[in-house]
Every structure is written in structure tokens, then in C-alpha cells.
């Protein structure tokens, strides 16, 4: 500075000195008033921070270093402290978070919930799951809020990132849904297989067994046969055995293929006649009568329905009353859905109501559902033979036709099966 | 004093402020709330406030020769001013950073 310093230069100098003096005074006052938390000192080019109370060192390191978000918020939501992890979680720098409102980082959809949590926290503690407004997508977090009153008029919040947990939960949920779907498919395909296997073995093995039975009768009289006849007979036996293997293989094959369902317009009357012919022998032995009443024509899978009638008539014969000649009455007619009483019935739809009633031993009404369970037997094996599959197949065939079956019975007063088939307007899967 | 401290609302100049705090220390949190309040109450001014946690960034503090926390520095417009403490005296703070009202 030269001696010729101007007045204005001197004034500036004075102002600068006044400023410095004021700063020094202010520093002294601040320290005196205990307004200072820490000192930062540069010693030999190494920066160090000294707190006035060093006893909190470990706490600070813990809060700063642990992998949970920790923030301290004024009672109007201003973020006064955030640890590094909370910044990391939001993908923002410390500077973008500190001094801003916490509400800016809450997903708009969660604001209402969070306001409630925050209000609760001012008088105590609150916890809950919310979404933070992340840079790219909402971040699911668990927040635990605690009022620091009376020591501080702030709310301490610990934030746990739930992203990983939610992802795992979703994965598990998806797997579960997948499994449930697969399970349903499996159950469906299993019962289809059971039904197909039964039909195949039943229908094919019966004529085969006859061939084998008659063959065994001839076996005793082989001497009466010519050499060439003996040769033919041997070949026939071998062919029958081969056929048995084929059937067994076919059964195995059926387990890897699903049944193709072809719906055809069918006269129920004809189906019943066919089944009567098939069961002619059994009907004769039991001196049974099948009364076929009014019948309609429906779109069904013919071979399945033939099986259904076969099983139901067989069932009536099996459970015939010991003192009565069996009378089996079959009829079918078209009805409106609205006249029927069942939760599965669609009132606007047209249904074909098929009824099969007998005068057999009947059953206790409480079994009217259980009777259709696979392998379910209401009677001991020694009294009535059977596998317990027959009625399960009847139920399955009805299900395949999207129909409903109901069984009603009373001991000694006969059983009655009512089947309701919806009029087909679409081709099922 | 008046010769160097201008009202920055008139000039429209950006007031660059840097607040140095030390983590969750109570005085630091108080200082943040006080500075924010002053900035919010004077929206006619253009503030550029940066808050620096000296625990997270001790090098910055030493570089700036900050010796106490909390400290508020007015970087611009010149002259540079330093205020130490909780900044609860709003009149003093406003005078130091050059805002009136």
C-alpha cells in the first residue's frame, strides 16, 4: 500500500477489517455459546475432524457405515441428516437430499400412508412398508420412525430396502402359481389317463379273454386235431398272447398321450340300445329290465357316453335289491337352465337332462357326493366286487362335457343319477 | 459496511452458499433448518446452497480452512463471509449474505 492511498481505498480497507473483526467476534461468540459441534483441522496436509464430544464416535461410524438408511427429519419433514446408505438407495448425492423435504422422496401413491405414519411418529413410534420414489422405479422399503423428543425435536427414521425381498417374494409367488397350474393340469391328465386306461383295458381285454378262454378249452383236445390245425391253433394262441402284450403297451402309450375328444351329434336311444346288447348276459342273469323312455339327441363324445351308460347300468345291476328284480329307467329331455337349481347352472342355457333310476339297495343321502370319488367304495369288497372307479369315470365323463351330475338315494329305495349337459355352442379345448 | 454489502435482490446475482455440518450433531441439524428457512422465506433471491458433511468429506472442510462446524460460507458475490454456529440469528445471517427484509 502506498502513502498516497485514496480515501475510498482506505474506506474499503476499513470495511474489510470490520468484516474480519465481525467474523472473529462471531466465532468467539459461537464457541462461547456452545453452538459448535466439531473442528476440522488441516495438519501436515491431512484432514481430520474433531468433535467436541468424541464419545459419540462409535455411534457415528455405525450409523454412517451400516447398510440401512438412517435419516433425521425435522417435524415438518425437512431432512437434517442422512447417512451414506440412504443416498445410495435413492441414487442421489448427499447434497441433493440434505435440507430437502422427505416428502419429495416418497412415491406419490404412498404419500397418504406416509403422512399418517409420520403423524404417529411425532407422538411416539410407527412402522410400515412404503414405496420411495426411486430414480427409475419405486423402491419398496420398510420404515421405522421414532420421535427423538424431548431431547431433539426431530424424527429419526431407519429405512430398510425391501427390493431383494420383494423380488424373491415375487419369484416364489410365480413359482407357486406355475406349480398350481401344473398341478391342475396333472390332475386333469391323470384322471383322463385313468379313464382311458380303464376304457382301453376293459373294452379290449374282454374279447381277448374270451379268445384265450376258448383256446384253453381246445388245449385239452389237441389230439383230435390234424397237424395243420394244430399249427393254426398254436399260431392263434401266440397271436392272442401278442395281443395281450399290445394292449399292455397301448396302456403304457396312453400315459404319454392325451385323449382326443370328438364331439358328435348322437341319439342317446341308440347308445342305450348298444349298451343293453353289451350287457345282455348280465341283464339276463339278474332278470333285469332296462326301460328307455323319452330320449333326445345331443352333441357328445359317443364312446365316453357309452362308457357312462355302461358303468351306470352295471352299477344298478351290482347294487340290485336281493328281493327285487332290477328295473332301470333311463330317460332324457331338454330343459331350460332357469328351471334347475344348482350354482353351476347358467339360467340362460339349454340343458339335456338325463336320468337313470333303479330300484336297488340305494345309499345313505350323505354319500351323494363321496360316491363319485375315485376308489371310493360304500360297501366292503367281499360283498360287492369292483374297483371304485366306475362312478368316478361317470363323473369325469360328465365333467368332460361340462355337465353336472347329481346322485340321490335312500337305503332300500333305489338310486337315481341326474345328468345335466349344456347344449353345445362352442368347441371345447 | 454499506459500501461493500449490496442487496443481491436488486442485482439478481446468484448467492452461492456452502454450509458445513458434522453428521447428526444437533447444532448442525439446527443450522440446516435455519438456513433453509431463510432461503425459503426469501424466494426473490437466487440461492445456490450446498450442504457439506465434513464427516463424509473431511478433505473439503480442510481445503476450505473450515475450523468449526456448523459454518456457513458465502462464496459469492464477494466479499467472502464466514458465519459460525446454529445461524439462529436471522438478522445477522441475512446481513452477512447480503439480503434485506
How many CA atoms within 13 Å lie on the side-chain side of A242?
6
The reported pTM is 0.48
Residue B4: the pLDDT is 44
Q: Do the chains contact at B62 and A19, CB–CB below 8 Å?
A: no
Distance CA A407, CA A403 (A): 14
Burial class (CB in 10 A: 0-12, 13-18, 19+), A212: middle
Q: Do the chains contact at A23 and B86, CB–CB below 8 Å?
A: no
Backbone φ and ψ for B7, nearest 5 degrees, come out as: -85, 115
Percent of chain A with pLDDT over 70: 85
User: Predicted confidence band at A353 (pLDDT cuts at 50, 70, 90)?
Assistant: very high
The C-alpha cell that represents A427 in the structure block: 368347441
What ipTM, to 2 d.p.?
0.72
Distance from CA of A97 to the nearest CA of B (A): 9
Residue A75: the pLDDT is 92
Please give the average per-residue pLDDT across A296-306, as a whole number. 83
Structure confidence by residue, pLDDT tens digits, A3-24: 667 888 888 888 888 888 888 8
Structure confidence by residue, pLDDT tens digits, A40-82: 766 566 666 766 655 567 777 788 888 899 999 999 999 999 9
Contacts with B, A 27-56, CB within 8 Å: 27, 29-31, 33, 35-42, 46-49, 51
Q: What is the mean pLDDT of chain A?
A: 83
User: Residue B59 above 90 pLDDT?
Assistant: no
For testing contact with chain B, the best of A37, A43, A93 (most B CBs within 10 A): A37
Q: Do the chains contact at B51 and A26, CB–CB below 8 Å?
A: no
Residue A212: the pLDDT is 87
Q: Give the range among A153-167, A170-184, A284-298, A360-374 with minimum mean pLDDT.
A: A360-374
Please give the average per-residue pLDDT across A334-340, as a whole number. 85
- Which residue from B minimizes the CA distance to A61? B55
Q: For residue A220, list its beta bridge partners.
A: none
User: Residue A253 above 50 pLDDT?
Assistant: no
**Residue A408 · residue A349 · CB < 8 Å:** no
Q: Do the chains contact at A49 and B22, CB–CB below 8 Å?
A: yes
Structure confidence by residue, pLDDT tens digits, A274-300: 889 888 888 998 899 999 888 888 888
Amino acid at each position: 500500500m502506498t502513502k498516497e492511498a485514496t480515501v475510498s481505498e482506505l474506506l474499503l480497507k476499513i470495511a474489510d477489517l470490520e468484516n474480519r473483526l465481525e467474523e472473529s467476534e462471531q466465532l468467539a461468540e459461537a464457541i462461547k455459546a456452545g453452538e459448535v459441534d466439531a473442528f476440522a483441522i488441516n495438519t501436515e496436509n491431512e484432514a481430520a475432524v474433531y468433535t467436541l464430544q468424541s464419545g459419540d464416535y462409535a455411534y457415528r461410524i455405525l450409523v454412517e457405515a451400516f447398510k440401512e438408511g438412517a435419516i433425521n427429519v425435522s417435524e415438518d419433514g425437512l431432512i437434517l441428516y442422512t447417512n451414506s446408505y440412504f443416498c445410495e438407495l435413492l441414487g442421489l448425492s448427499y447434497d441433493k437430499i440434505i435440507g430437502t423435504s422427505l416428502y419429495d422422496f416418497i412415491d406419490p401413491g404412498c404419500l397418504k400412508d406416509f403422512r399418517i405414519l409420520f403423524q404417529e411418529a411425532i407422538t411416539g413410534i410407527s412402522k410400515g412398508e412404503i414405496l420411495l420414489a426411486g430414480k427409475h422405479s419405486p423402491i419398496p422399503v420398510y420404515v421405522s420412525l421414532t420421535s427423538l423428543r424431548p431431547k431433539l425435536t426431530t424424527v429419526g427414521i431407519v429405512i430398510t430396502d425391501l427390493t431383494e425381498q420383494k423380488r424373491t417374494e415375487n419369484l416364489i409367488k410365480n413359482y407357486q402359481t406355475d406349480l398350481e397350474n401344473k398341478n391342475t393340469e396333472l390332475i386333469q391328465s391323470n384322471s383322463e389317463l385313468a379313464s382311458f386306461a380303464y376304457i382301453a383295458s376293459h373294452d379290449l381285454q374282454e374279447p381277448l379273454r374270451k379268445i384265450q378262454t376258448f383256446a384253453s378249452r381246445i388245449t385239452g383236445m389237441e389230439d383230435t386235431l390234424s397237424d395243420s390245425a394244430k399249427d393254426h391253433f398254436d399260431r392263434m394262441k401266440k397271436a392272442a398272447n401278442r395281443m395281450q402284450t399290445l394292449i399292455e403297451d397301448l396302456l403304457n402309450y396312453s400315459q404319454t398321450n392325451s385323449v382326443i375328444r370328438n364331439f358328435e351329434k348322437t341319439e342317446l336311444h341308440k347308445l342305450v340300445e348298444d349298451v343293453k346288447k353289451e350287457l345282455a348276459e348280465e341283464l339276463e342273469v339278474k332278470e333285469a329290465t332296462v326301460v328307455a323312455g323319452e330320449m333326445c339327441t345331443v352333441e357328445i363324445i359317443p364312446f365316453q357316453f357309452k362308457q357312462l351308460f355302461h358303468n351306470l347300468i352295471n352299477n344298478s345291476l351290482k347294487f340290485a335289491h336281493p328281493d327285487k328284480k332290477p328295473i332301470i329307467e333311463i330317460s332324457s329331455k331338454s330343459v331350460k337352465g332357469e328351471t334347475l337349481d344348482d350354482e353351476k347352472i347358467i339360467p340362460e342355457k339349454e340343458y339335456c337332462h338325463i336320468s337313470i333310476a333303479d330300484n336297488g339297495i340305494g345309499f345313505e343321502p350323505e354319500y351323494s357326493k363321496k360316491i363319485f370319488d375315485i376308489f371310493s367304495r360304500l360297501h366292503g369288497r367281499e360283498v360287492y366286487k369292483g374297483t371304485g372307479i366306475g362312478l368316478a369315470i361317470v363323473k369325469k365323463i360328465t365333467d368332460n362335457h361340462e355337465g353336472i351330475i347329481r346322485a340321490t338315494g335312500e337305503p332300500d329305495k333305489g338310486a337315481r343319477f341326474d345328468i345335466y349337459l349344456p347344449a353345445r355352442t362352442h368347441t371345447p379345448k | 459496511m454499506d459500501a461493500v454489502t449490496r442487496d443481491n435482490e436488486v442485482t439478481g446475482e446468484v448467492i452461492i452458499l456452502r454450509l458445513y455440518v458434522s453428521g447428526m450433531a444437533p447444532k448442525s441439524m439446527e443450522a440446516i433448518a435455519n438456513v433453509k428457512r431463510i432461503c425459503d422465506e426469501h424466494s426473490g433471491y437466487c440461492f445456490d446452497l450446498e450442504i457439506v458433511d465434513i464427516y463424509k468429506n473431511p478433505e473439503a472442510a480442510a481445503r476450505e480452512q473450515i475450523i468449526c462446524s456448523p459454518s456457513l460460507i458465502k462464496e459469492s458475490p464477494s466479499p467472502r463471509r464466514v458465519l459460525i454456529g446454529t445461524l439462529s440469528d436471522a438478522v445477522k445471517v441475512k446481513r452477512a449474505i447480503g439480503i434485506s427484509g
